[in-house]
A and B are shown apart, each in its own frame.
Chain A
Amino acid sequence: MITTDELQINIGPQHPSTHGVFRMLITVDGETVVNLEPVFGYLHRNHEQLAEVNTYLQNMPYTDRLDYFNSMANNHAYALAVEKLAGIEVPERAEYIRVMMVELTRILNHAGAVGFMINDMGAWQTPLAFGIREREKILDLFEMVSGARMMCNYFRFGGVVRDIPDEFIPRLKKLLIAMPAYVDELERLLRENEILLARSEGIGILPREVAVSYGVTGPVLRGSGIAYDIRKAEPYSIYDRFDFDVPVGSVGDVYDRFLVRIEEMRQSRRILEQIIEQLPDASGGHINPKARQNVRPPVGDAYARVESPKGELGFYLVSDGGPKPYRYKVRAPSFINLTPLGDMCRGYKVADIVVILGSIDIVMGEVDR
């Protein structure tokens, strides 16, 4: 009598498709996954303890390195948390600049995420190159404004470090002219593609009823059909001045999340157009002149969250009145979005695991901190 046995295999930590140093311990019966357990910690840099040693301003470049794909969003969340704690106001123009940067980051991230997800499906580098192409143009804009492509370190408490140069808006306008064509092309390449459908339809379903219990946020939650977007649910900064839609999925599978991300790119473009129209002139000031960067907030705690491209990114700060945070906690979306990974993958094939992981869109800098 031939019996079969279950095999335990590691996917990762060195693996081209695990979006960083991420290890999954899977138990397979043949090709079908019986159990999946994610193992983290390979990129753990004890960022939270490091933050207790640095002052509030010195922490800003370290927040860039959390979700290193979207550094502007991390900066934004941290700046909001410190401003809430210390009671610092932000001038209008600075708010517009901030939202502009964050929405550009969202386009960046989704283009890259879609590209990488399809790369993992085996379409190799072609769709990835199409996705990265927009990234390059936006990264050039970031370099013009903040000095670095990825580790921007652009936000300060009370505004941003310097105003946008004169050539920024014309270049952004040119990019926005080209943007619909970019997104349409990416979509046309992939949307009705049978191979993509076969590999993503019905895979990795997270049902609507349980999605919220898992604490997931961002495109994963919206792909499951719940239209919860922090920019609409609890508007921060100036998001209540813009018109944009919230795309949701219906089934909650990988295909839905892919479509949600493509649609969010279009909505971000819509917001950017409104920003360019409404942008106040330069006399508004790019930073609150009364805001001290070596801030000593009063004793207390504050939590501020933003809708980062990956989900809800929040910073919880506890101050003891000194120049350094007493407790600094990062609520990382990629980390929490990995909670249902094991359950989402059960019953599918090994090849589907990588696709499901790609659809959750994680970045290990955030997961491990």
Chain B
Amino acid sequence: MSNDTLTHSITFTETPATLTVVVDPTPQITRGRAVVVERRRPKAAGWSLLQGLGVVVDHWRKSFRKLEDPTQIAGTFTTEYPEERLPLPEAYRNMPILLFDDATGHELCTSCFQCQRICPPQVIHMTQAKDPETGKPVPAVSEFIIEYDACMSCGFCAEVCPFDAIKMDHNYELSTADHSSLTVHKAGLLRPVSYYQSIAPTFWAEAEASAYKKLEANKKRRPASIGIAPQMIEQVKAAHKLGDGQPEAASPPAPVATAPAPDAGSAATPASNAALATSEGDLPTDKAARLAAIRARNEAKKAAEQSASPAASAAPTASDGDLPTDKAARLAAIRARNEAKKAAAQAATDPAQPAAEGAATALATPDAPLTDAPPAPATPDAPLDEKAARLAAIRARNAAKKAAQAEEE
């Protein structure tokens, strides 16, 4: 575009007739005056340069002292990161996290969708848990996803949550080279209440009473182990002998204690959704082998206890399963267990299937490799015996194989 289409050329040498002079009326100012700022000239040539230099030298002199107090204006203040970190105020908000009760492992979230609705960039997605037998919604959340890379940390989700389940974290060290790991799933979002209490004691103290009261009411409406954080499932089951049937018990046995809990970086590579928050100590470092080892451990447990796998997989949306109360199904499960014991020595094929079926819950997101596997044997009624037995047999075989492999490493 050429410049001669540009508008009027206004010269300020005189006031052109087209411009209206709008100096009058004069502004009326109450409780103050209009003060004309004082323009100064330097007293002597070069004087102000020396004065400015004086300020700089003054600061240089005082910079050898460490700043202790906000009223000091000269001094040095250095925080040697990463060995030291600046303390953050309680209200500091970075990304959201979900809370679960330390003692019982119950998540405070009831999937009420308030945070999903209020989120301005719409980065929260969740699925409500359903009772595996009746199919009715249960006040628990089965899957919860937050896209950390688009979250603007506005804090609205934490503000509107009626159950104090989602809170703002203080962790700002979230850099990662793996972009997909910034889509964080529930297991990566969960932290114990003790963690939140340590970072924001006053806020939690205000919210604690009502949050626990509501949690008690919700726990009554949650059957079996629905609504228990994956990090705590094993512990809780051991403590309460809830029974078996956790197809997605492919979570680590060690509960996540305090502070730097599963950070988003190592959190959700697609294949390891189920293996989140692993206690890294006793596992091999190579990812595939680690995954295999985890699966082996779980399958070994399952083979020992003989999960009622058909019934568990009959609730594809629930992350937890149940020992079916239906007699026929239970009988079938026991038969399957026996079959598996018999079949333990046979050669195997297709290792990926059973573990995949366990880990593929209601993940609506494209966690491709896992969900490739077809959902496991269907309903509690159907031809249970053969399928269950076959499945159990395969599992036992793999368990044995993988356990042996893990032992080698």
Interface positions of A (Cβ within 8 A of B): 8, 27, 35, 37, 54, 57-62, 126, 133, 137, 143-148, 151, 153, 161-162, 165, 171, 174-175, 177-178, 181-182, 185, 188-195, 197, 201, 205, 207-210, 212-213, 225-229, 232-233, 240, 242-251, 255-256, 259-260, 263, 342-343, 346
Contacts and interface: CB of A to CB of B under 8 A. Distances in A.
27 contacts: A8-B3, A35-B3, A58-B120, A143-B91, A146-B91, A147-B91, A147-B155, A148-B93, A171-B70, A189-B52, A192-B40, A192-B41, A192-B42, A192-B48, A193-B48, A197-B42, A205-B12, A209-B19, A210-B10, A212-B23, A227-B34, A246-B33, A246-B34, A247-B37, A251-B39, A259-B39, A343-B12
B276 interface: no
Contacts of A247: 34-37
A232 B39 contact: no
Nearest to B3: A35
A246 B29 contact: yes
A35 B6 CA distance: 9
A26 B27 CA distance: 36
Given A210-B10, A212-B22, A232-B27, 19 more contacts: A126-B56, A143-B88, A147-B155, A153-B156, A175-B71, A185-B55, A188-B55, A193-B48, A194-B42, A194-B48, A195-B49, A208-B23, A209-B23, A228-B27, A240-B31, A245-B32, A246-B27, A248-B36, A263-B37
Contacts of B47: 192
Contacts of B56: 126, 189
A153 B155 contact: yes
Nearest to A175: B70
Given A209-B21, A245-B35, A233 B49 contact: no
B347 interface: no
A165 to B, nearest CB: 8
Shortest 9 CB-CB contacts between residues of A and residues of B = A227-B34, A61-B154, A192-B48, A259-B37, A147-B93, A212-B22, A147-B91, A58-B120, A192-B42
Contacts of B366: none
A57 B156 contact: yes
Given A210-B10, A256-B37, A256-B39, A145 B91 contact: yes
A343 B38 CA distance: 26
Main secondary structure of the interface of B (DSSP, over half): loop
Given A58-B156, A185-B55, A232-B32, A174 B69 contact: yes
Contact of A255 (B9, B39, B72, B156): B39
A250 B36 contact: yes
B30 interface: yes
Contacts of A137: 70
A210 B92 contact: no
B159 interface: yes
Contacts, number: 176
Contact of A192 (B26, B30, B36, B43): B43
A151 B168 CA distance: 15
B150 interface: no
B161 to A, nearest CB: 14
A151 B37 contact: no
B70 A178 contact: yes
A185 B73 contact: yes
A243 B72 contact: no
Interface in B135-184: 152-156, 159, 168
A217 to B, nearest CB: 12
B38 to A, nearest CB: 8
Contacts of A197: 41-42
Contacts of A228: 27
A192 B51 contact: yes
Interface size for chain B: under 10, 10 to 19, 20 to 34, or 35 or more residues?
35 or more
Interface string B214-257: 00000000000000000000000000000000000000000000
A229 B6 CA distance: 32
A226 B23 contact: yes
A244 B36 CA distance: 14
Given A143-B89, A178-B72, A195-B49, A260 B19 contact: no
A213 B20 contact: yes
Nearest to B69: A174
B23 A37 contact: no
A171 B154 CA distance: 25
A212 to B, nearest CB: 4
B122 to A, nearest CB: 9
B30 A232 contact: yes
Contact of B34 (A27, A148, A178, A248): A248
A177 B72 CA distance: 10
B15 interface: yes
A190 B33 CA distance: 25
Nearest to B86: A140
B281 interface: no
B13 to A, nearest CB: 10
B42 to A, nearest CB: 4
Nearest to A241: B31
B118 interface: yes
B91 A144 contact: yes
Which one of B47, B56, B73 has the greatest number of beta carbons of chain A within 10 Å?
B73
Contacts of A62: 120
Nearest to A167: B89
B395 to A, nearest CB: 48
Nearest to A60: B154
Contacts of A57: 118, 156
A169 to B, nearest CB: 13
A174 B70 CA distance: 6
Given A148-B153, A193-B42, A213-B19, A27 B72 contact: no
A95 to B, nearest CB: 17
B46 interface: yes
A210 B12 contact: yes
Contact of B51 (A37, A188, A207): A188
Chain B CB within 10 A, most for which of A188, A192, A207: A192
A333 to B, nearest CB: 18
Contact of B71 (A8, A177, A185): A177
B368 interface: no
B45 interface: yes
Contacts of B73: 133, 178, 181-182, 185
Interface string B73-117: 100000000000000111111000000000000000000000000
B23 A58 contact: no
Contacts of A259: 37-39
Given A190-B52, A205-B12, A61 B156 contact: yes
